[in-house]
Structure formats: structure tokens, C-alpha cells
Structure 1
Amino acid sequence: MQSLIPLFLIAGAAVGVEIALTRFFAVASWSEYGYWVISIAMTGFAVSGVVMVLGRQVFLRHARWLLPALPVAMLAAGGAGWIGATLNGFNPLELQNPVSASAQLWNIALYYAALFPFFFLAGLAVSLNFVVHSNEVGRVYGYDLLGAGTGAVLALVLMFVLHPFVLVPALLPLLAIAAMISGGTRWRIAALVVLGATEAAVFGIAAPRVNEFKAIYAPMNVPDSRVVAEVLSPRGVYLLLDNFTERLDTDVSNNAGVLGVPAPPRSFGLYRDGSRIAALPNGQPAAAHAPSALDGAPYALLDAPNVLALGAAGGFRPAEALALGASHVTVIEPEPVLRHALLHGLGPSSPPAVDPRVAVSAAHPLTAAGTYDLVDIAGDFLGADDQNRNVYTAEALAGFLARLEPDGMISVPVGIREMPAYAVRVLATAREALRLAGVAEPARHVAVIRSAWNLRVLIARQPFDEARVQRLAAFADERSFDLSYAPGLPAEGREIWNDLPPIALESTSVEQTGEAQDAVAREAEQVLAGIPPQDAFDRSPVTADRPWLSPLVRLPALGAALNRIEILPQQEIGLLVNVAVLAQAIILAMVVSVLPLAARGSLRVPGPVLGRALIYFPALGLGFLLIEIAFIEHAALLLGDRTSGFALVLTTMLVFSGIGAMWAGRVAAPGRALRVAVLVAVGCSLLALVGVRPAVLAALDLPWALRAALLVVSLAPISLALGFPFPLGLDRFQHEGPALLPWAWALNGAFSVVATPLANLLGHGMGLSWLLVAGMICYIAASLSWPRNRA
């Protein structure tokens, strides 16, 4: 049993480093570029299988010294790769400039060059263990998965105490231990020497840094800027800054001076992974600016409203609501660090004083009870936490409508600084929410008020009558805001205070007419009537199955997007990264797939067997990850955090799949075991299709530990079943030719590379349910391709 412990440690180190590198990209760059890490890792695994196919006999002859040598080589390659990644001058903003893009493409290639060797060697170590222990592939695969799951947990735990910039060096000692267990005294000495030299080089040469385009870069570098508090967690690195640039980020009227209203107050700035998520009070929250703020629009239509505030804006939002006439404010702040700051303060920022008119609820926004006159979403709520996007779905808004008093309304903020089409998509979502709530004429229940940079969509339970529209128009005119849409308000012929020209990918220039324009007003009436414009942008409603406001660019419009990449906001670039990674992955998968045809003489495998293998192992590589990614998204909502959801789903599925793989090595009838495993996996997926959303909503207000336990218990059966097909297939197909074993590992890795970007595109384009459907189809295809001449 001990001979496979090094494999366990190697797998743990590989997955741990992979997760650590994705955190590095999130802090130093943008999280979208974490896809590269997954792509590089799976590419390394796939290429290692190809190399093992071609040199199987050579590797077997030298296996005795290769088994300890590979983790030592991984140790050195991991340190060198980390140094190379941190010294890379990649700047994603320059990708959007044709003049500077070529240099950034070279930097992307350098990332691959730096990180590929580590994952290639990891894949080589795993595939060598499969070849050496070819008579017990279930046990080998089980140790591989269990080690990977343990590595994911270790990386998650380390994030509570270590900055992401030191996670990779902290995980490298696992490889030294693996080498020391595999080899004799000389290898133990070599492992310690290489570990010491690698760590010395890493801490002496590596220079991880936050890129200058990140929001935190400028305020960190102004005179006398100070970090006054820091919080480390898997959710991110939180820094609280104190400098003269930090103010409450709210949209106030240009007429504030005429109105006799002061500017927004000074504050501390709270940043997570370099992005500003909130202002925290520098003293007690001030709200004298509130009457001139765009966010005050719904308060002009309601008398002493009872308010449900989603997001506290660091404590400023309840104070603003009271200043605007609210009789009572119930605050829900789901972001844990912001919630802690609201209740207990953070560093020098004190919590707001206790006020009997303000209550802080522990409920989840999607399950809040009670009835309200106003559901008021804070302006920074969407950007404060990734999971807050679930509040912007049609189903969530319909739920809020049901909690409103007869004259109540919902106030939904959306930024229009970079792309007006985001606001139009929120309007489409509002229309769908009203339709779900049984409203026959949604257009009569919506009003839109905006400034130059932000917009509020007001969704009312009752139709907007003329009196309310006039009150809203007066509020807008007095503050030089624009009423882009209200029932009975003409779209044309109005004075426009804040120019908002339309943006189209089909055109190479912004439309200029010589007069101020309102791009939202142009489309609002069409979208609320259910006939949105048909162009490069997706204006379909945001739903629980597709809970993403971005990206907006439709896949058929990728060519136009590339031609006008300089105008696209950063959240749209993630789509292009996915497409690029997918294209690369497909090329790799094709190369790996045709390899046996080129080397068929050395494989000595009949053509029909190759054909079946070409279905079986790619289907498993695709199917496992498609199902896993679907569950990660649901787990992120359940646990309130994508990092925790990712780590727990990954760990659970790897560990129980590892147990299933070990069990698979002991079954007497592999064909029957495969059919049962696929039947269980498909059955669990069908249950998830119909029941996962209600189950998640029912559990949202339970303690975190109980939600995590329920997730593990729910995933255990399908994970156990998914552990069977791969080792059963390896064992069965290698009877047709031993060289198929490393090729199968390569196929699985290559199509796993395809699965990650494919799942992201499929989920964003069609919905999470389709990931489960596609995963089921893959496993059914694998079952049908099982060789028929043996059980």
C-alpha cells in the first residue's frame, strides 16, 4: 500500500498548485485568466500520456529511478514556473489595443512555457504509475483522486493563513516528501537539496505583484496611503485603505450645490483581490448627500417606506434610507466581511451606531420573509460578491414582487459606464419577473431613471400612474437626471441631460447625431414589449439557470467582437478567453486522438477497439467535468461563496470517485458494474435537474457547516458512481493492447481540457441544466461503447 503514497502526494501537490495559481491570477490580474491554468494543467496531463504511449517500454525499463526522480523534477519545475509567472509583464488591457496586443500574446505564450513543465511532469508521474501498476488500475486511480482531493482541501485551508503570493512555495514540499518516500538515501538527500535551492530561488527571485490596471493600484500609490486592515480567506484578500481619494462611491447630481447638499463623505476603501467592493465609514455614516443621489429616486414616490435593503454599502445605505424618509430598514448583507464590518467594524472603521429603526437580518436575500414597501438594492451590491448576481434573476425579482405591499416597488441598480446594453438586459429580466408574477402588461410597471454612469430600474407591483410618473420626472429634472422610460412618457422629443450614445459592434464608430442621445430609451419600449433588437448583444432575461448579466456578446458575433475589442468592457473579455482556450483544446484533443492512427503498428490494436476507445475515454473526460462544473455553480449559491463551493465539490467528487475507483478494481463483472454506475450517475443527474434549485433555496438559511454537510452527502452517490467507469475502462481496454492504457490517460486529459471552456460557454449560453444533460449524454455514450465481446 505504501508504494502509492508518493502518487497521492504528487496528485495533491499538482491540484494544490493549480488552485494556488488560479488565486494568483485573481489577485494579480483578473480571475478570468485562471482558465489558462486549468488549460495548461490538463494539457500537461494529456501530452504526458502521449509521451508515455510513444516511450512506454523505455519508461518501464527506467521506472525504478524515474519514480523518485519525477517529483524532484516537479519540485524544480514548479519553482521555476512560479518565478516565470511572477516575472511575466502581462497586462490584459493591452490585449484590447492592436498596437500592443502582439507583445501580450507573447506574454501569454511565456505563461504556458513557464507552467507547462510542472504539469507535464505531474501527468508523467501519474501515467507511469498506471503503467507500472497496470494490474491494479483501480487502486492507482483511487490514490490519484484521493490525493487530488486532499490537495484541494490543503490549498483551501492555507488560504486562511497565507497570502496567495506564497501559496505555491508552501505546497512544493509535498513533492520532496514524495521523492523521499519513493527512493533511497541518495534520493532523500537530493530531494532536500533541491527543495532548499528551489525555495531560496523562489523567495529571492520571484516578484508577484498586483498589476497596475487593478482598481487598488492607484489608491495604494497615492501619498500617505495606508493599509489599515487585512483579512485573508479563500474568498479573497481583503485590504482596507485609508487615503485622501477614498470617498463613498455613489452617483449624485451635478446640481448638488444648487440644492444645498454636500458631496459624499470621506471613507475607507475596502478592496477584495484588488477590486473595490465597498466604502466603509470613517466615523459614523453620513447621509446628508442622500437627497441629491440617484439612489433616492424610489423614495420620492413612497411615503415613509418600510425598506428591505439588500447590501448595506458599508453601513451608508441604511443611513441614507433613513435620511430619505424610511420608517424602518431591514438590512441583508450576504458578503461576510462586509457583514462583519456592519456589525462589529473592521480595523479603524467602527460599526454604525445602534438605531431601533434599523435591523440587520441573517436571512439570505432569496429567502427573506416579511412584506415591504421598497426592496432597495445597494448600488455596489452586484460588485460586492459574485453570488449577489443571483438576486438579479427573473425568479428572484418575482419573489421580491410577492413580498411587496400593494404600492411597493423594487429598485435595481446597474452600471452603464461601459455598456448601456447591460441595463437593457436588466429591463428584459424585469419584464420576465413581472410575467412570472402574473402581470399582463409589464411595460406599465417599470420606470428607468439614470445619470451619465448609472441607472435605476424601478419595478412596481401596481402600474405607474400619471401622478407617479410626474413625481419621478420632477425628481429627475431637479437633479439633471434622465427619465429614460416611464409609462406614457414619449421616447423622443425630451431634453436629455446626460448623453448616452448607443454602442454597436457592427459599426466601427459611435453614432453621433450632434444632439444628446439616450441609448436605453431607444430600446426600453421594445424590450419591455418582448421584441428586443437582434444584433451582436444578448438581451435575454437573466434567470436562475443562467444567472449571469455578462457576457453580452453572442457567440455568432465573435468576429465583430474581435474587430472592436477595444470598446469591450473587461467582463466581456472572459468570453473571448474561453473561446481561445476551447479552440486550443480542440486542436490538442484532435492531435491526441489521431496519435494511435500514426503509431498503430506499435500499438497493435484492432481498428474497432481504437474506435470504441475514441468514444469511451473522451466521453468520460467531458462528462465528469460537465457534471462537476454544474454542481460547482449550485454549490456556490448554497455556500454563498464560489471558492468554497469549488473546493468542496472538487474535494467531494475526487474523494468519493477515488473510493469508487478502488471499489471498481474488485468487481467480478465489469460490464455490469459499468452499466449500474452509469445508471446511478444518470439517475442522480435527473434528480438534480428537477430538484437542485428548490433544495438549495430551502437550505440557504441553515448554518454553513450544515449546508456543507448536506452538499457532501448529496454528492457522494453520484461521485461514487463516477469513479467506476475510468478504471473499469482502463482495465478492460488494456487487454486489447497494453499501450492503450497511457493513451487512454492522454485522451481523458485532452478532452478534460475541452470540457472546462466548453462548460463555461454552454452554461452562459444555454444554462446550467444543459451541463447536466450533456454530462448524462456523455456517460450514456461511454456505456454504449463498452466492448461487447466480454462482460
Structure 2
Amino acid sequence: MNAESRTSPAPATRPAAAPERWAKLAPLFLVSMAAVGYEIALARYFAVAQWSEYGYWVISIVMVGFALSGVVLALARDRAARHGKVLLSVLPVLLVAAAALGFHWTVTNPFNPLQLQNPATWQGQVGNIALYYACLLPVFFLAGAYIGLSFILNADRIGRTYGFDLLGAGCGAMLALGLMLVLHPFQLVPALLVPLAAAAFFAPWRRGAMVAAALLALLGGEALLRLGPQPDFNDFKAIYAPLHVPDAQVVAERRTPRGHYLLLDDFMERVDTDISNNAGLLGLPGPPTSFGLYRDGNRIAALPRPEGAETGYAPSALDALPYLLRPEARVLLAGASGGFRARGALTLGAADVTVLEPEPVLRGALTEGFGPSPALPPDPRLTISGESPLAVARRAARSGRRFDVIDLSADFLDAAEANASALSAEAIAAYWNALAPDGVLSLPVSIRDFPVYALRLLATVRAGLLAVGVADPAAQVAVYRSAWSVRVLVSRSGWDAARLEALRRFADERSFDIVYHPGFDADAARDHLYNDLPAVSFESGQVTSEGPADAIADEAVAVLQARDTPSAEAFNLRPVTLDRPAFYAVLRLDQLGTLLKRLEILPQQEIGALVNLAVLAQALVIALLVLLVPLLGRVKAPRAVMARAIVYFPCLGLGFLFLEIVLIERASFWLNDRTSGFALVLTGMLVFSGLGSMLAGRFGADPRRGMYLATGVVLAWGAALLLGLEPLILGTLDLPWAARAALVLLLVAPGSVALGLPFPLGLARAGGMGGLLPWAWALNGAFSVVSTPLANLLAREAGFDVIILTGILLYALAAATFPIARNTALAANAERRPVTP
């Protein structure tokens, strides 16, 4: 029996009709939907206007707002409950105003990430980060207050209430992704003000006045966002400079959940490839002008102009050697580079080219064109596919129809997040098995930022070759470079005298430097360097070489033989694997002082780890403050209940997001697309968890049984993920996309239903104790803040399997600390006072 029925006349104790119960929770659905949609819209704003790594702040701000709202409700639970109808009526109006003002102030914030990495200017940028929190925290504080208050006022039907919250969140994710198909990323927030305002139509107090106030706030917010300062690319984004040169113009645009694509026509756009400085001496032209294709302000490809993709420069390019070693080759090419690499392979004499372009917009540009950029002309020698290199290589190895050259384009890894697995040890093992007896594998790595990335690729190649039984990986490898890029070649038949002579001649004619081959003398090679690459101490920032040097050649042999190197002391050179697929993760976080000292030279791809560390530090402080709330004396519950809650609710907050983050990453690899992996897992887990939470009422007589049942399902599901997920993914990579998407949902459903039960079961136990329910909500939110950066860092350092194992152990610990029986707790809580919402 809830608090309302204990303090009202007898007729009020009769359960409300079903339509009335649903109507009471409909605004909660709308608020949850708008809050998650707003969160995704903010993440898109940061990805487009800033860098996507700074989107981690959005997650932090959301959960901090939810946690603080729980703290306030815990301290003022009785007062909030007494004024519940008024608060539920007013909060949607305040949310509309806060959401509009928050985004307006976010847009006008002068934050600059480049200045954050500058020792002379970083202090001011820390203040701008604080401004982001000041702008956006009120939105998520108010949303958290609305959700937390809904739990307090519906303490007798927590399962249904939490179900509406999760279902609304799932629909909000779907709504935001759907809006990305038709709206510019900067226009998502104005659209998401509408469901917030719609919540006022269900106001339980002075509905007419609240509807009028909400519509007024909506009109004012829309006017502010559409007529006030407009969001734009920051001046450090790759698109900023070319977009602002004379006569530059956007000639085509495409809006998708994967990103906002712009095709730019300006005099700066050329094919971005690494060619010899001797191209003129070889009688070869330079790369032609092109259009530039940008996604979220980052350049991902050159697209041909209407006159076509001229590739006469191809023989002078760094990546041409494998085609000279294997004339008339059957080629597997990962990444068409807007079509130029595909045509270039034919120019170099390839007989048959299978082009893999998993990025859907880039693939569409090849087959259908993009704006004024034409499609590739039909050619019987070219086949275009959207599959991943790993899937095609595994199928080729099974079928016996192998490739003479397997070639990854230099821009393939950065064209889409899902392409990260293409440079894993497992992928390299698959490429080896898919090569013909005299076949050659060609792998790229950029050394513009850190030469150490080349050493990490060599370590990964070694691991991949060892996995397929190659006794001496170093005997199969040759490495050469320009000033900016490295090519690692793996020859299935090894490197005989003829191939080594071809390598030397190719490099000398084009002024490229050989880094390693079997029998290579690095000391002798220093006397004939074309492109000096001195060793630099990362700790001191000082050059440590004297005279001509090749820092990669100095360590290549040691890396291929798994011996210690100076770089291994400063950087992480562990092989990239499917369990730890982040290639751009060489910074050692145990050397944080050195990283902060060298902050100004860190590559943009490495900044995410430091942002996660900063968010984690802040999250731990917030979590500690929430844990201390009972010391203020406003949470009335027995000590035994408090002690269990301190473990139980944080375990749920950490465990749920740990499992969700891993499943998003795995689904992205499985579907070969980050956006659809994110959408399916996030929406699926929220919806199925919402359905699971609605089952909580079935265990009202024995909630402990429900908790143990849910935990048993989670443990079995988690064990299945640990033992069978990777084999299942690898075994089904060549199924149609729809079949793989269905498998993702089938995989997510049973575990998510079980994950939806523990939280409402625990909240139901806390519902009658003063302040405990909102404090539990705050604990869950606070440790959800901790979970995201912690999971990202664990994935980087330990791998996804460790996160899965940690997630299921957290649920086991939660089961062991499930709160004591509610009746016992209520009897012990003599200070509890009934409240009427």
C-alpha cells in the first residue's frame, strides 16, 4: 500500500483505471525521451563543432545532473512529495527554457581544444569547460528531478515507472537518430524541445496555465536558437580553412546518423596521397585536383571532378610497390580513397580488383556519385563491396580463391570507426591465409604524428603471423617509408634476392627509405637516407640522434623479434587485437606527468584517453559526495539497509553501462558500422530493459526471487558472451547485414530483460523509507558517471573481455547485497512519516 492510500479516504484506495495509470506516466515517457535525445544531440554538436572526444563531457554532465537531482530529492524528499503535483507540472516548462538557454550558451562558449593543449593558454580553457557544465547541468538536473520525483510518487509501482523511463529513453535514441536523416546536426536541439513542451499537456496541476507557459517557453526557445548566434565549425577543424578560402563552395550535402557530409569545391583540394619527390624525373604527373569530402568537419576522402579520376601519378606513389612485385595481380583493396586508389590499382597493372568500402556514403560515391562528383566508370575488372576486409579474407581462405595482393589504403582506418579491426592481429592472420603462394600484403601507417605507430604495427604483424604458425615473422617482412608514411609489406613466399633488388630499385628511384628487410643493415643505411627521421625523447622533447637517423629502423628488428626497445619504455607497443582494437592508443597512462608535459604534441586521436581520465577523476569526486549524503541525517533507513544500498545501487550503475559499452563496440564490428551498432544496442537494451522492469511487479511477494532469477540470467548470458561472442561474430561476418542485425537484437534481448529487473526491485524496497529512494537514484546516477570513462579506459588497457567479466561480477555482488525485506526495514524505521503527493 503506498503513501497516498494510507492518508486518503477509502474510495481513493481503489486502484486507478488503466488509462489513468498510463496517462500519469506518459509525461515521464516524454521527458525521458527528450532527455536522451538532447544528450545525443549534444554529442553530435561536439563531434561536428569540436572533436568527438569531447562528447564524453556530455555523458558526464548528464549523469552528474541526475546524481545531484537525487541528492536534492533525498534531502528534501517529504517536501518534494507534498508538492509533487505542482513540481511535475512546472518542471516541463522549466526544462524547455533550460534546454534552449543551455544550448544557446553552449554555442557561444569560446572553448578551443588547441589552446587547452598549449601550456600558455590552458588555464582559460579549463574555465570554458566549467562553463559547459554551468550551461548544461541545469537541464539534466531538472530532468533527473522529474524522473526521481516520479519514482517517489509511484513507489508502489516502481517497475512500471522505471519501464516508462527506459522505454522513453529508447524512443528518444530512435527519435534523435531519425531526425539526423533530415536535420542538420545543429538543428537537433530545437526539434527536441517539442516533446519536452508536450509533457505539460499531462500536468496534474493547473493544466491550462502550464500548457500556455510551456508553449510560450517553446516559442521563446525556438526564437532564441534560430535567431541568435548560430553554431559553426571551430577554426581548428580540417574543413575550416578550405571552407573560408576565396570562391570555396559546398556543392553537395548529405545528412545521416553516421555524420554530416559536405562536398567542398575549392582550390586547395587535391588527392591526398604520398608520392615521390622525383615524380617529375620519372615523367609522371602529380596528383590531380579534386573535390574534398568532409564528415563532421573532418576530411575523409578526395572525390573526382566531372572530368574523371586521373591516376597517372600512381607509379610514383608509396603504395605502388606490391603491384610491381606481382604484375597482373588479383587484388583485394580495402578503401578506394574516393575512387582514386581503385583506378590507381588498374593503372599499376592489376588484372582484377575487389574494392572494399564499408563506409556507406563513400561506397555510394563510387557507385552512384555524390553531387557533381561522378561515379566510377563501369569496368569489368572492378568489383565494389561494402564488406569488411576480415570477412572477405576469411571467406577467400575457406574457398581457396586467394589474392595476389591485399592492400589497405592509407586513409582506410580513418574513414570509419568500424574499420579499426582491419589492423588487428586476427585480421593480419586472415590476410595471410587469403594470400596466394607468392602474394603480398601491404599495410599503411602514418608517422606524421608519432613514428611509434609504425613500431606498434610491426608488433601486431608479428602477433598475427605467429598466430598462423609462421616460425620467423621477421623473415616475411619488409618496410619502407617516405617522410610522412610507412608501408609494411608481408610476403607469403619471403624475400629472395630478386624481390629485395626490386625493393631497393623502387626506393632509390623515388627517394624512399628502406626501414627493414631480412638481412638489413640499419647502420649502413644511414649513409644513404633520403628522409631524415631522428630519434626524439618523448620525456624530454629533445632530439637524441646525432647525424642522419631513422628512428624506426633503429628499433624495427627488435620489435619483430619481441625484444625490449627504448620506445616500449615510453609507449604501449602491445599488438592490436579484436579485444583491444584501438590502434591509436600508444600513450602509457602510468606516465601521466610526462603526458601532461608533452600535451601540446599529442595527436588528436590520443586525447580521448586523457579526457576520460579527467572525467573519471571528476566522477569519483561526485560519487564520493553522493555516498556522504546520509551523514546529513536526511536519509532515514536502518544501517543494514544503508550499507547494502551503498554497494547494491553503484554495482547496478557500473555493471549495466559496462555491458552496454562492450556490446556497442562488438556490434559495431559485427555490423561493420558504428552508427547502426550504436543504434541497435542502445535502443534494444533500453527497450528490453524497460520491458524487464515492468515484470518487477510480478515478484512483489518475493522480490529476492526475482533478483536471483535476474542475476542467474545475467551470469549465464555474460558467460556466453565471454566464451562465444567473438567466435559467433567471426563465423557470421559474411551473412547479409539484416541477418547480422537480427542476431544483434537476439543477443541483446534476454540479457537486457534481466538487466531491467534489479534496479526497480531495489527501488521498491527503498520506496517507503524517507529519502532512501532518491538517494538510491543518486547513487545509480553517480556511478553511471564513473562507468563510462572507466569502461573506456579498461577497454584500452585490458580489453573488452575484462569489462564483460567485471560487469557480470558486479551484478553478482549486487545480488549478494540485495536490500533486506521491506517489511523488516519499515518496522525498524521509526522515523518514517507518510507523505501525500
TM-score, normalised to structure 1, is: 0.98
Amino acid in structure 1 at the alignment position of 2:170: G
2:176 matches 1:176:
no
Structure 1 residue aligned with 2:641: 609
Q: CA deviation at 1:465?
A: 2.1
Q: CA deviation at 1:532?
A: 4.1
2:87 to 63, 66, 81: 66
Between 690-699 and 723-732, the greater mean CA deviation after superposition:
690-699
Secondary structure of the equivalent of 1:492? helix
Alignment map for 1:250-399 (pairs within 5 Å): 250-282=273-305, 283-368=307-392, 369=396, 370-399=401-430
For residues 311-367 of structure 1, what are the alpha-carbon distances to aligned partners after superposition, in whole Å with 9 as ceiling and x for unaligned?
A: 111111122112212122111111111111111111111112222222223543222
Q: CA deviation at 1:512?
A: 4.5
Quote the Cα distance in structure 2 between the aligned partners of 1:790 and 1:55.
22
2:711 matches 1:688:
no
Q: Residues 169, 532 of structure 1: CA spacing in aligned structure 2 closer, same or farther, 3 A cutoff?
A: farther
Amino acid in structure 2 at the alignment position of 1:24: Y
Quote the Cα distance in structure 2 between the aligned partners of 1:749 and 1:503.
44
1:576 to 599, 610, 615: 610
Q: CA deviation at 1:604?
A: 3.0
Amino acid in structure 2 at the alignment position of 1:530: A
Q: CA deviation at 1:781?
A: 0.5
Structure 2 residue aligned with 1:155: 176
Structure 2 residue aligned with 1:556: 590
Structure 2 residue aligned with 1:439: 470
Identity of aligned residues (%): 54
Q: CA deviation at 1:603?
A: 2.3
Structure 2 residue aligned with 1:460: 491
Secondary structure of the equivalent of 1:36? helix
Amino acid in structure 1 at the alignment position of 2:287: P
Quote the Cα distance in structure 1 between the aligned partners of 2:27 and 2:240.
42
Structure 2 residue aligned with 1:209: 232
Quote the Cα distance in structure 1 between the aligned partners of 2:535 and 2:628.
48
State the Cα RMSD in Å. 1.3
Amino acid in structure 2 at the alignment position of 1:462: S
Q: CA deviation at 1:789?
A: 5.5
Quote the Cα distance in structure 2 between the aligned partners of 1:40 and 1:641.
27
Alignment map for 1:20-99 (pairs within 5 Å): 20-99=41-120
2:164 to 133, 143, 160: 143
Between 663-672 and 166-175, the greater mean CA deviation after superposition:
663-672
For residues 365-399 of structure 1, what are the alpha-carbon distances to aligned partners after superposition, in whole Å with 9 as ceiling and x for unaligned?
A: 22213301100111211111111111110001110
Amino acid in structure 2 at the alignment position of 1:254: N
Q: Residues 790, 50 of structure 1: CA spacing in aligned structure 2 closer, same or farther, 3 A cutoff?
A: closer
Quote the Cα distance in structure 1 between the aligned partners of 2:759 and 2:462.
46
For residues 19-44 of structure 1, what are the alpha-carbon distances to aligned partners after superposition, in whole Å with 9 as ceiling and x for unaligned?
A: 01001110111110110000000000
2:685 matches 1:653:
yes
Q: CA deviation at 1:496?
A: 1.4
For residues 581-604 of structure 1, what are the alpha-carbon distances to aligned partners after superposition, in whole Å with 9 as ceiling and x for unaligned?
A: 0000001001101111x123x323
Note if contact 1:138-1:664 (Cα within 8 Å) is conserved in structure 2. yes
2:710 to 677, 682, 700: 677
Note if contact 2:535-2:545 (Cα within 8 Å) is conserved in structure 1. no
Q: CA deviation at 1:505?
A: 2.6
Note if contact 2:478-2:517 (Cα within 8 Å) is conserved in structure 1. yes
Q: CA deviation at 1:536?
A: 2.3
2:244 matches 1:221:
yes
TM-score, normalised to structure 2, is: 0.92
2:532 matches 1:499:
yes
Q: CA deviation at 1:788?
A: 5.0
Amino acid in structure 2 at the alignment position of 1:243: D
1:636 to 642, 655, 668: 668
Quote the Cα distance in structure 2 between the aligned partners of 1:208 and 1:252.
38
Secondary structure of the equivalent of 2:121? helix
- Structure 2: segments with no counterpart, 5+ residues: 1-21, 824-837
Secondary structure of the equivalent of 1:408? strand
For residues 131-159 of structure 1, what are the alpha-carbon distances to aligned partners after superposition, in whole Å with 9 as ceiling and x for unaligned?
A: 11111111111111010001000001000
For residues 217-241 of structure 1, what are the alpha-carbon distances to aligned partners after superposition, in whole Å with 9 as ceiling and x for unaligned?
A: 1111111111111111000011111
Note if contact 2:627-2:646 (Cα within 8 Å) is conserved in structure 1. yes
Q: CA deviation at 1:502?
A: 2.6
Structure 1 residue aligned with 2:144: 123
Secondary structure of the equivalent of 1:545? coil
Q: CA deviation at 1:270?
A: 0.7
Note if contact 2:707-2:757 (Cα within 8 Å) is conserved in structure 1. yes
Note if contact 1:300-1:472 (Cα within 8 Å) is conserved in structure 2. no
Secondary structure of the equivalent of 2:281? helix
Secondary structure of the equivalent of 2:288? coil
Note if contact 1:67-1:125 (Cα within 8 Å) is conserved in structure 2. yes
Quote the Cα distance in structure 2 between the aligned partners of 1:120 and 1:60.
17
Structure 2 residue aligned with 1:195: 218
Note if contact 1:538-1:552 (Cα within 8 Å) is conserved in structure 2. yes
Note if contact 1:126-1:144 (Cα within 8 Å) is conserved in structure 2. yes
Note if contact 1:523-1:532 (Cα within 8 Å) is conserved in structure 2. no
Note if contact 1:497-1:516 (Cα within 8 Å) is conserved in structure 2. no
For residues 586-631 of structure 1, what are the alpha-carbon distances to aligned partners after superposition, in whole Å with 9 as ceiling and x for unaligned?
A: 01001101111x123x323222221111100000000000000000
Amino acid in structure 2 at the alignment position of 1:185: G
Q: CA deviation at 1:572?
A: 1.2
Between 25-34 and 707-716, the greater mean CA deviation after superposition:
707-716
Quote the Cα distance in structure 2 between the aligned partners of 1:656 and 1:358.
43
Secondary structure of the equivalent of 1:258? coil
Q: CA deviation at 1:478?
A: 1.1
- Structure 1: segments with no counterpart, 5+ residues: none
Alignment map for 1:529-548 (pairs within 5 Å): 529-533=561-565, 534-548=568-582
Quote the Cα distance in structure 2 between the aligned partners of 1:651 and 1:358.
38
Quote the Cα distance in structure 2 between the aligned partners of 1:525 and 1:566.
30
Quote the Cα distance in structure 2 between the aligned partners of 1:789 and 1:159.
47
Secondary structure of the equivalent of 2:695? helix
Q: CA deviation at 1:696?
A: 2.2
Q: Residues 112, 790 of structure 1: CA spacing in aligned structure 2 closer, same or farther, 3 A cutoff?
A: closer
Amino acid in structure 2 at the alignment position of 1:364: S
1:623 to 655, 667, 686: 655
